[in-house]
Chain A
Amino acid sequence: MIDAVKPPAPSAPRSATLPTPSETTLDNGLRVIAFAQRSGPKALGVPLIAAQLIVRGGGSSEAEAEAGLCALTASLLTTGTQRATALEIAEQVDALGARLDANSGYDASVVSVSATTPVFREAFAIFRDLQRPAFAAAEVERVRTKSIGDLGLTYSNPSALARLVASRVAYGASPYGHPLAGTAETLAALTREKIAAFHGRWYRPDNAVLVIGGDIVPADAFALADAVFGDWLVPPNALPIAVPQAAPAAQPRLVVVDKPDAGRTAIVAGRVAIARNSSDYYAGTVATAVLSGYSGRLNQEIRVKRGLSYGAGAQLVTRRDPGMFLASTLVDHSKVAEAVGVVRATLEGLAQAPVDTAELAPRKETVTGAFYRGIETLDGIAGTLGELALYDVPLADLNEYVARIAAIGPADVQRFAAAYIAADPFLVLVGNAKIFGEAIRAAHPEATFIAADGLDLNVASLTAASLTAAP
């Protein structure tokens, strides 16, 4: 007979010395952060350099009626400058074996570049040139058409649509409430002039952070930054002040979007939680990990124990102002009421009793494991440092993060869950309400029902007309 052979237990976690960033500020106000990662004994560096420019101007800096302006602006940066067309840029970057990318979030727009050491200066010059964008009319139209086309795909996906509705429920008309990618109406109304004005207003050296690292020592990185970005002029007008998040007007807390063609129903439960620079960030990260992943509580309760879904998880979205905690799953239309009950009970359970250490330890390992995987590449390190700088978190966090996660105990998780996860969560359901609507209305008479064709993401009320009756 075979004795049950058990896998050997893990040893104590091993530590690592990560790069130590250093920084300077150029005369034009551009903050420059540098880190070196070069080959040493038993640490293979690569002859590669990565840089990111983080501009403090994101979707929360655009007006509700101009939703998508920031995203469109970022997308257009790589489609032509005053010196080079979109194809010329693509060709030059390609010929260098470089990578160039631009994207945006609610708090910032990020442009990134990486290239091997011998050609990095050439790639970095192209990267600098992107701040002299052409915003050519033809490119504006091309990107606008593609963006509007992409919306159709987003709206057809119940999970993606539920997240857009959740942002409106959480933030109403305040700046994190409108969709980052815009709507067909707002995108159609954006003009080249508005795009250029957005760029002129927010993309300026005294409103940006430049991170450079890899196969370059900080002194050389600072000199290169000064040589290439030193001529970036500060505009004469004063730097605009970012609009703070106002508390939303009373929003419905339980919204059902009736989407008869949805294959399954998306369930999103959540609430406004914490900012990135909150001291609760680490407790929140661990609490979310207890709920998330295959062996996290949500998936265990919803998929493994009850077979209600293929998966369920949670996410802590942290931003300059408080972001959202979100729990989500996708279930058969007929299982919605049961799954909603399980989601709510699971979130409440985390607040009611401390997590025991045997459960907590592996969930914390998922957090540190993901952190180390994230910084295995130069882009990953640059991105992590850029985020710390954006949110005014000390850069030393890069080397302290793992210890801070290790210090989180059951009481911290319980306290965070009570304050930011279980307390009065909103609920968004997107699916075929013909099947589950009655059960939800019976259990939650306060539920607001909206037909998918009547859903209007342009406004905080989510509907242009009056709310439809329950099915």
Chain B
Amino acid sequence: MTRSVPPVRASIALTPVDFTDRTLANGLRVLLVEDHRVPSVAINVGYRVGGKDDPPGRSGFAHLFEHLMFKGTANSAPETMDRLTEDVGGYNNAFTAEDITNYYEVVPSNHLETLLWAEADRLAALRITQAHFETEREVVIGEYDQRILAEPYGMLDELVNREAYTLHPYKRGVIGDPDNLNAATLDDVVQFHATYYRPDNAVLVVVGDFDPAETQGWIERYFGAIPKAAGSVPRVTLVEPPQTAERAICYRAANVPLPAVDYAYHIPAANTPDGAALDLAETILGAGKSSRLYHSLVYGKQLATSAYARADLREHPGLFEFSVVLSRGSDVADARKALDAEILRLRGELVSAQELERAKTQIASSFVRGRQTYNGIALSLVRAAIERNDPGAVNTDLARYLAVSAEDVQRVATTYLHADNRTVVEYLPE
């Protein structure tokens, strides 16, 4: 078999991220990157828990916890994290996704010990009160009202996940279900914390200006003192059955400025070999103004105001999505026809050497930009460790992308982007 992999300008000399990797006796995985460009440090604590791990009938628990983790501990008042970061020239935040809940801080490097203490403290001694539970539940439901109900197309992602998955908990999304949350009790919440917030279910990453021996000592002192949890962490074992026929729904809502169409195809998990070719397919089809969808649907035929492709690679099998928002006056059927034609083209003919090179150059560029900040490096490590169980991927991924051939792109398009494997959501004005 011939492979057309031209030498590309994207083949840049990327210095590897030099990280140490060890696991404490209680199971906490610790990744450290020493770097002295600026006197600051980024701390990330990622937990292997996300929307897919929400208990049945308790959709939104992982997300609710992201909020409760800021409400104080046995040893600290609510919003202590803000005071320990913002008040010394740093910042902090957290996010919840399908497979991970990640907490992060960036502070001047002389505050590293303080923040390690604070992160260990909220893992070991979080104070969950009825009052905090109730107020944060309201905040999460308020977020649902704002992001899902009030924003244009807010329900789109929820609908896509709900329709594309029949069995796997990815069908429930991340943000949470207001009815589920309102039915929950403090006991449910305490139980969820005990189940997932344990050292052997977390990854600690520190990147920046520190002394490794001193830092390992602090980590041992504050995190190492947390006892090893008994038993094992429950894991989602449900496997989504293969889809055999197209599913389609039509959803009408009040706040829809222009009709939108979304296609979602099942694709394999992030740590399987096809991930790189799928990411390249995403870039060729739908990243920016040099992409095929922009040329065809937005600029050329002016059927759409935006047209994107996204390879949403997750810990378990994810989705390859197309999202098209129509232009005023254009027809849903016409836009779908043009989109179908682009998908057929990717399956039917090899991408050109220039297009492949352009996509690799773009991917290499975003890799490089992500490495500029300590928190960017920390985030890539924590995600690789949790979603792919392979932190070393941060150093091998670029080569994986550069090795993808035009034939590989055609093969993944043919394998996954076919109608029987597809869920269609038409999102229309009332």
| Cβ-based interface call for B108 (8 A) | yes
A-B contact count (CB 8 A): 161
A293 and B88 CA atoms in complex are apart in Å by: 10
Interface segment, one of B50-58, B274-282, B368-376: B368-376
Of B9-17, B167-175, B323-331, B333-341, the one contacting chain A is B9-17
Contact-residue bracket for chain B? 35 or more
Query: Cα distance A45–B17 when bound, in Å?
Result: 10
The reply to whether A97 and B39 contact each other, CB–CB distance below 8 Å, is no
- Whether a CB of chain B sits under 8 angstroms from the CB of A146 is no
Pair A368/B366 contact, Cβ less than 8 Å: no
A98 sits at the interface (CB 8 A): yes
Any chain B CB within 8 A of the CB of A444? Answer: no
A376–B373 CB distance below 8 A:
yes
- Interface residue? A370 (CB, 8 A): yes
Chain B: minimal CB distance from A96 (Å) = 6
Does A60 sit at the interface, judged by CB under 8 A?
Answer: no
The residue that A10 contacts in the complex, of B36, B38, B88, B365, with Cβ under 8 A, is B88
Do the beta carbons of B39 and A14 come within 8 Å of each other? Answer: yes
Q: Mark A92-110, 1 if CB is under 8 A from B, else 0.
A: 0011111000000000000
Contacting residue for A14 out of B14, B106, B109, CB 8 A: B109
Contact present for A368 and B377 (CB under 8 Å) = no
Chain B residue at minimal CB-CB distance from A6: B75
- In the complex the two chains form, what is the Cα distance from A282 to B33 in whole Å? 33
- Nearest-Cβ distance from residue B405 to partner chain A, whole angstroms: 20
- In the complex, whether A9 has a CB less than 8 A from a CB of chain B is yes
Chain A 6-34 against B: per-residue CB contact (8 Å), 1 yes, 0 no?
11111111111010000000000000000
Chain B nearest Cβ from A295, distance in angstroms: 5
A44 contacts B371, C-beta separation under 8 Å: yes
Residues of B within 8 A of A97 (CB): 361-366
Contact bitstring A72-107, B, C-beta under 8 A = 1, else 0:
000000000000000100110011111000000000
Give Cα A377–Cα B287 distance, bound, in whole angstroms. 24
Instruction: Assess whether B89 is in contact with A370, with CB atoms less than 8 Å apart.
Output: yes
* B121 engages A15 (CB within 8 Å): no
Cβ of B90: which chain A residues have Cβ within 8 Å of it? 369, 373
- Chain B residue at minimum C-beta to C-beta distance from A39: B15
Does A295 lie within 8 Å of B83, measured CB to CB?
Answer: yes
Report yes or no: A94 in contact with B110, Cβ–Cβ below 8 A: no
In the complex the two chains form, is B12's CB within 8 Å of A116's CB?
A: yes
Using C-beta atoms within 8 Å of the partner chain, give the interface range for chain A.
35 or more
Residues of B within 8 A of A378 (CB): 372
Measured between alpha carbons, how far is A43 from B36 in the docked complex, in Å? 5
Contact (Cβ within 8 A) A372 B108: yes
**How long is the Cα–Cα vector from A375 to B111 in the complex, in angstroms?**
19
Chain B residue with minimal CB distance to A9? B114
Looking at the complex, which of A156-164, A197-205, A237-245, A359-367 is the stretch in contact with chain B? A359-367
Contacts of B158 in A (CB 8 A): none
| Nearest B residue to A8, CB-CB | B113
A7 and B118 contact, CB distance less than 8 A? yes
Known: A46-B371, A369-B40, A378-B372. A16 touches B209 (CB 8 A): yes
CA distance A48 to B88 in the complex (A): 30
Is B353 engaged at the interface, CB distance under 8 Å to the other chain?
no
Report the bound CA distance from A366 to B111 in whole Å: 12
| Leading 5 A-B pairs by shortest Cβ distance | A369-B89, A97-B365, A94-B288, A5-B75, A97-B362
Q: Show the binding face of B for A, using Cβ within 8 Å.
A: 9-15, 17-18, 33-40, 74-76, 82-84, 86-91, 106-111, 113-114, 117-118, 121, 209, 287-290, 299, 358, 361-366, 368-369, 371-374, 377
- Can you identify 23 A-B contacts, CB atoms within 8 angstroms? A2-B75, A4-B75, A5-B75, A10-B113, A12-B110, A16-B37, A37-B37, A44-B371, A44-B377, A47-B13, A48-B372, A95-B361, A97-B364, A98-B365, A116-B361, A116-B364, A118-B12, A294-B83, A365-B89, A368-B108, A372-B38, A376-B38, A376-B40
Given contacts A94-B362, A373-B91, 7 further A-B contacts (CB under 8 A): A7-B117, A42-B34, A47-B12, A91-B290, A294-B87, A372-B38, A376-B372
